Structures are given as structure tokens and as C-alpha cells.
Chain A
Amino acid sequence: MSSSATTDSRPGTPAASGAAAIRLRGLRKEFPGRPPVVAVAGADLTIGSGEFFSMLGPSGSGKTTVLRMIAGFEQPTSGTVELAGEDVTGRPPYARDVNTVFQDYALFPHMSVQENVEYGLMVKKVGRAERRRRAAEALEQVRLGDKGDRRPTQLSGGQRQRVALARALVNRPSVLLLDEPLGALDLKLREQMQVELKEIQREVGITFLFVTHDQDEALTLSDRIAVFNEGRIEQVGSAREIYEQPANVFVAGFVGTSNLLRGEEAERATGRRGTYGIRPEKLTVVRPGTRRSGSEISAAGTVAEVVYAGPVTRFVVDLDGGGRLIALEENGHSATHDELRRGDPVELLWHSEHLIEVPEENSTTDDPSTAQRSSS
């Protein structure tokens, strides 16, 4: 790149600062077939510099395809990808200032851990000493400083994951793409890696774009989340916004427990028609006739199921007016909860501000199957 070039996009140059790290405009991807398979049906998204951003959705919802189009492994059918304000849509992966942590890690089996981490610097002709120093630094950062001369095959899954992270971070990309990086790890290790990922992101200040189907992971890690479904972005917002104010029935169901009342059920329980949702932990289960304060609303029902789950107990309650709600109660707070059994009559209490009106769909596409699925 010559010094006279005006479209210099290296991060930190005045032209790039202030611009969004990633901007997707009308990004669409169809895979050939009869009819063509629409993997991504037009995604618009702006991700700020230094954000920890998650793309959350079930498998096949298009989130990984979006990631692959940002990395350059797939070409969009239409739409554009901008990195730091510059259109990179037609560029190959090696000409984009992003690095990827792959789901299967994709470590080079014929190279040592050190050589794996140095790879990106080596192909960019960084000097040997500088390469050594930076790779050692990156390995130190993921607490693998002593494993440099091992082969990837000699490492555990968690360690390989960290090598993959170091190999990407050592290049100091402006954006790090993570494709379900924790999917192959067991629960304990996953929770530990979540904390480490968050710490590393804060330390290096790089934009993280994280793909996951695990709602807990997305809620725990992210500054903002985009919820994907069937190739569309259903909602973009902070963890709290997504959880407390789901944009539609799909988001309410996919993130957290779906606790919906529809039509007449809703009218009988709340006095209002429409589709309403309420999170299980916002509900209180009491015996009928128990005194309540003014701000609470109540609905009568019968306990259909009691599930003890350690710190909490889950009550499944069939309402007398139709519909079924799930309530979570912390254990050890009330003797009443220990005594409740299947078939006992109860009352559910909640504060009116916790009842959220949930649109069936936020777009013109009205899918009757979704409605049937969650009301049955």
C-alpha cells in the first residue's frame, strides 16, 4: 500500500476512527438448489468498535453464514460488508483485517503450538525475533506460556481452544470472529473460558463478534446481542433488553423460558387481550386466599408439576382460565413451597409492570406454525 493512498484503512488512522467496526447492509446469502436455500435473508447490522457482540440463534438460523461472509469465506448473494468504514465485500479472507477462532479450532497439526501462533506473522513477513516475542506474549496471555513446543495433538480441548485464540489475537486484528468457540468444551471448562474470554476482550480492546446458540453464554458475555431466526435478525439489543423486552414471540421463547398467555387466556388472567409474556422468576406462587399487596395481580390455577432443581424449584401451573405458566421460586424462603404438591390449588402473583406485551411477529411474515407450536 503506497503512502499516497487516500483509502488507507489501517485501524487508528483518522479516516477509520469513529466509524463502526463492522457494518452489514442488506446482507443476503442464497445457496444453490431448487429452490435456492436462503441462509441469510437480508441482514442489517452495525457493530461498534470495542464491542463484545453476540449473534444468537438456533442452528441453521444463518448466524454462522453471516460470520463467514464477514471473514470472507463466503461471498454474499447481495449486500455489503464494511470493516472500519471500508467496503470489503469482494475481498478474499487474507486481505481483511479480521481473524477467526474456528469451532473445531483448525490448528495446523504439522506445526508446534509456537509455530501455529507465529503463522499469521510469518506469512506477513514479520521478523523472526519480533515473531517469537509476540507469540510468546500471546501464549502467556492465554496461560500456555510453557506449552510452545508441544504439538496440538498433545493438548486437551480447552488448551487447543486457547491456542486458537492466541493464534488469532497475535495478529492484533481490528475484529475477532468467534464461531461457537466453546461448543466442544464441557460445562465447567466452558464457564471458566467465558470468564477468560471476557477478561481478554477487556484487556485487548478488540471488537469481538461471537456466534453461539447458547442463550446463557450470549447473555453472560455480550454488550449487545442480535437474535437470529430463519435467516433474519429478530432483535438487536443489550442482554437486559432482549430478556426483559423481547421484540416478538420467537425471541421471548428462545431467550429464557417462554411463558406466554394468548387471546382469551390473557384476557381472563390479566383483563387485557393480546399476547403477554412474563418471566418465571417474576411470578410468586401462594396458596389461594393469601393476602397480597395492592400492586400485585393474581390468577388462580392448579399445580401440574413440581421440579426441584437445587437452588430453585420450578412450578408448572395450569390456570383456571386456560393457559399454562411456569414459576421459579428460590428454595429455602417459604415453607409453603416445600409443601406444594401436584394437583394443589394455588394462586400466581405478579407486578403489573413485569407483564410484557409480546408481538406475535415483528415483520409482515406471519407464520401460523409458531403460534400453534407455543400455545399447544
Chain B
Amino acid sequence: MSLSRGTKAALWGFALLVLAFVYVPIAVVALNSFNSDRTFGWPPPSLTTKWWSVAMHAEGPRDALWTSVKAGVGATIIALVLGALLALALTRFDFFGKRVINLLVILPIALPGIVTGIALQSMIQNVLQPVLGINAGLFTIIVGHATFCVVVVFNNVSARLRRMGASLEAASADLGARPWQTMRLVTLPLVRSSLVAGAVLAFGLSFDEIVVTTFTAGPGTPTLPIWIFNNLFRPNQAPVVNVVAVVLVLISILPVWAAQRLGGEAAAESRI
């Protein structure tokens, strides 16, 4: 398609405007993490790395980061196992109630986080705590996050399984492979990249989740987003929050980049 010089310039201008809209605020946060003024006076009077060294040695953000990582890994593992098995069951087998289960699996992602949060909190308060002695903490965060992480893995894997069709597995059985051999030699290798993509996405969702976490985290176990939220308006901690935010941005670029690369490979693999 060929565009006139004027149209091209206008489109470029518009594109830059949109990109600026998204990225300038992040750049401001990054700059503020070096701002020597405690109240983020603008423009920064001078630049300093003081906040970075303070943040490096603060226990609050470090513990919160560790909690977030544990919660993310736990939720992702649950999501991988349940999501993949559900996807296999719902795409490869016919059974009574299949459609209902399909709906029930997908529903949590459409449900407002606040509803999930309230429901989980009352569950913790009324059942888990008095009956089983389980308090709000890392375990309840993991379970809460798993409710929507399962959907992400499930969607990724079942989309792949559907696109693959059943004929490859039929061919494997036809050639003499038993169900476990087919699973190990054909199904798993072909859904592997969708599993990884689903896991990355699930971890990302869990890592920056705040609504459900608010209701499921105990007072002693804030995740990183909760810690940021709690400390944002404390004058003493505000500069450190900026540093933590920048670190978060840097960390979250990695999985996005990995997911994109995997997505590309997966697309090439299924093109046959």
C-alpha cells in the first residue's frame, strides 16, 4: 500500500503520540527513582543513586518480592497441571456435562476480581480458619491466583490442541503406540510451547495481581504490588517505591519477550 507523504507524516505523528502516552509516565517514574528531592519536585534538582542503595538494603520490598515469586511459581505450577489436564479432557474426550465444565473453567477470568476476593475471604474466615486451621497467607494467595491462572494455561493449551486436530494422535495409535507413548512422543512435544507461553502469562498475571491478593493475603505476607500500594503514600518510603517500580518494569520485559518468541515458534510449528 502506498500512502501520500502527508498521510505518512500524520500516521507517524499519531503513532508517536500513542507510544508517548504509554511510555512517558513510566519514564517519569524511572527518572524519579534518581530524583534527589524526597517529594519528587519537578524538574529534579539533582540526580542521586541514594534511593537505589536504600531499596537494595530494605527488608520490606525484598521480602515482598520473595513472597510474590513464591506465589507466582506456586500458582503457575497448579495452573500448568490443572489447565493442561482440563484442556486435554475437554478437547479430546466426550462426556456428560462437558459444556458446563468448560464454562465453569473459563468463568473465573470473567468474574470481577473483587467478587473472587470477597468469596475467597469469606471462605478463609468461615471454613479454612476455624475448621482446618489454615490462616490467610502464602497458601491462600496461591490458591486465589490459581483460580484465574488455570484459565490462561487452559486457553493456550486447548487452542493448540484444537488447531492440531486429533489425527496426529490417531496416527500415533495406528502405528502401534500405546496411549502413554502417544502422550510422551506426540502430544506433549507439540503442546510444549503453548504450555510455556501459558506459564509465562500465568506467572505475569499472578505477579502483578492486587485485587484478589488484598483479600487473601494475611497481614504478615504482602506481595510486591501490595507492598507498593501500602507504601506509596508514606513519605518515607515513596522514593523506594519508585525504585521497586523500575525493577518491576525491567523484570516484566523478560517474560513478554520470551512469550513473543515462543509464540512465533509455535505458529511456525503448527503450520503444516
On A, residues with C-beta under 8 Å from B are: 71-73, 92-94, 98-100, 102, 104, 106-110, 119-120, 123-124, 152-153, 167-168, 171
Does B172 lie within 8 Å of A119, measured CB to CB? yes
| A99 and B171 alpha carbons, distance in the complex (Å) | 9
Given contacts A94-B175, A123-B185, A152-B272, 5 further A-B contacts (CB under 8 A): A72-B173, A98-B174, A104-B165, A110-B189, A171-B175
Q: Does B178 contact A (CB under 8 A)?
A: yes
| A177 and B34 alpha carbons, distance in the complex (Å) | 72
On B, residues with C-beta under 8 Å from A are: 165, 167-168, 170-178, 181, 185-186, 189-190, 269-272
| A106 and B189 alpha carbons, distance in the complex (Å) | 15
Chain A residues positioned under 8 Å from B185 (CB to CB): 119, 123
A186 smallest CB distance to B (angstroms): 19
Chain A residues positioned under 8 Å from B181 (CB to CB): 123
Chain B residues positioned under 8 Å from A124 (CB to CB): 176
Does A94 lie within 8 Å of B177, measured CB to CB? yes
Query: Which of B171, B178, B190 contacts A110, CB < 8 Å?
Result: B190
B162 smallest CB distance to A (angstroms): 15
- Give B166's nearest chain A residue, CB to CB: A73
Does B269 lie within 8 Å of A120, measured CB to CB? no
A88 smallest CB distance to B (angstroms): 13
Say yes or no: A106-B176 contact (C-beta < 8 A), given A123-B181, A152-B272, A153-B272: no
Does A106 lie within 8 Å of B270, measured CB to CB? no
Q: Which of B176, B178, B270 has the most CB of A within 10 A?
A: B176
Chain A residues positioned under 8 Å from B173 (CB to CB): 72-73, 92-94
| A10 and B199 alpha carbons, distance in the complex (Å) | 47
Does B175 lie within 8 Å of A167, measured CB to CB? yes
Does A109 lie within 8 Å of B175, measured CB to CB? no
| A167 and B175 alpha carbons, distance in the complex (Å) | 8
- Can you report 15 A-B residue pairs in the complex whose CB atoms are below 8 A from each other? A71-B174, A72-B173, A94-B173, A98-B174, A99-B174, A102-B167, A107-B272, A109-B190, A110-B190, A119-B175, A124-B176, A152-B272, A153-B272, A171-B175, A171-B176
| A107 and B269 alpha carbons, distance in the complex (Å) | 12
| A41 and B185 alpha carbons, distance in the complex (Å) | 37
B262 smallest CB distance to A (angstroms): 14
Does A93 lie within 8 Å of B170, measured CB to CB? yes
Does A123 lie within 8 Å of B167, measured CB to CB? no
Does A109 lie within 8 Å of B270, measured CB to CB? yes
| A72 and B171 alpha carbons, distance in the complex (Å) | 11
Does A94 lie within 8 Å of B176, measured CB to CB? yes
Query: Which of A94, A100, A171 contacts B178, CB < 8 Å?
Result: A94
Name the 6 nearest CB pairs between A and B, nearest first: A120-B175, A106-B171, A93-B173, A123-B177, A106-B167, A109-B272
B180 smallest CB distance to A (angstroms): 10
- Give B190's nearest chain A residue, CB to CB: A110
